[in-house]
Amino acid sequence: MTAKKSLKFLISAGPTREPIDPIRYISNYSTGYLGYEMVLAAKKRGHRVVLVSGPTAFKKPAGIKSIDVITAKDMLKALKDNIKWADCLIMTAAVSDFRPKKAQLKKIKKDTQKTTLQLVKNPDILKSLKPYKKGKIFIGFALETHNLYENAKKKLKSKGLDIIVANKKGSKSACFGETDNTYYIIDNSFNSNILKDKSKSYLSQYLIDKSFKVWYNLYK
């Protein structure tokens, strides 16, 4: 295989939203900031990028293909449609693990006497994409409240990732938005590198460069 000077990055960003009724939904606190920083870092280094983005307040980066999605199923379809094109998948999106079993067609009124919200699991996007992994590298993220390293290693192995980025949500760690944090970069041999009190811009540049090195060592 001829060595490449640039790669094709497929990057997911932002939260997903799972509708309860036409007014309400299940989601999370993700702003999409990290994913958009990852796109900018890849573009700055001359790589090609496709962005699959859940709802965010950020302006789409100029000069790249962007696909807007809402639900986890929407995101999975968009990623499947583009995964064969990519050399590297970076899954920064915070995908809702659960969705209502049935979204109501009309707003659930406050004076409803009894309302039970039944949840079902969303598809596991990274596991669903594993059959397409040949010749590519996959990078995932683990945001934990406890047992950070153990949970990250478990996710790394079960989803067949090449790299996982783990960080902890605690009382002094906002995690979401433009905040510095400490990141644990773990590869599939369980070697780890700690980036202490670094910005998401720094993390993005670091991870894009590391992605290129890992891909080059495996598939040059």
Which one of the listed residues 28, 82, 151, 188 is annotated catalytic? Answer: 28
Kindly report, residue by residue over 121-132, the tens digit of the pLDDT. Answer: 999 999 999 999
Closest CA to 32 of 73, 78, 66: 66
What does the mean pLDDT of the chain come to? 91
Kindly report, residue by residue over 26-70, the tens digit of the pLDDT. Answer: 999 899 999 999 999 999 999 999 999 999 999 999 999 999 999
What is the rounded average pLDDT of the residues 193-212?
95
Does position 112 have pLDDT exceeding 80, yes or no?
Answer: no
Q: Are 149 and 191 in contact (CB under 8 A)?
A: no
Q: Are 28 and 96 in contact (CB under 8 A)?
A: yes
Global confidence as pTM: 0.92
DSSP letter, residue 61: P
Active site residue 151: no
Which distant-in-sequence residues (6+ apart) come within 8 Å of 161 by Cβ? 126, 138, 139, 140, 155, 188
Hey, what are 136's tokens? 């590519």
> pLDDT-derived band of residue 218, with 50, 70 and 90 as boundaries?
very high
Kindly write down the DSSP assignment for every residue of 99-139, as one continuous string.
EESS--SSPPPTT-S-----EEEPP-HHHHHGGG-TT-EEE
SS3 call for 82: helix
Structural domains present in the chain: 8-101+118-219 (3.40.50.10300)
Closest CA to 48 of 7, 94, 100, 81: 7
Beta bridge partners of 15: 94
Q: Are strands 181-187 and 18-19 parallel, antiparallel or unpaired?
A: unpaired
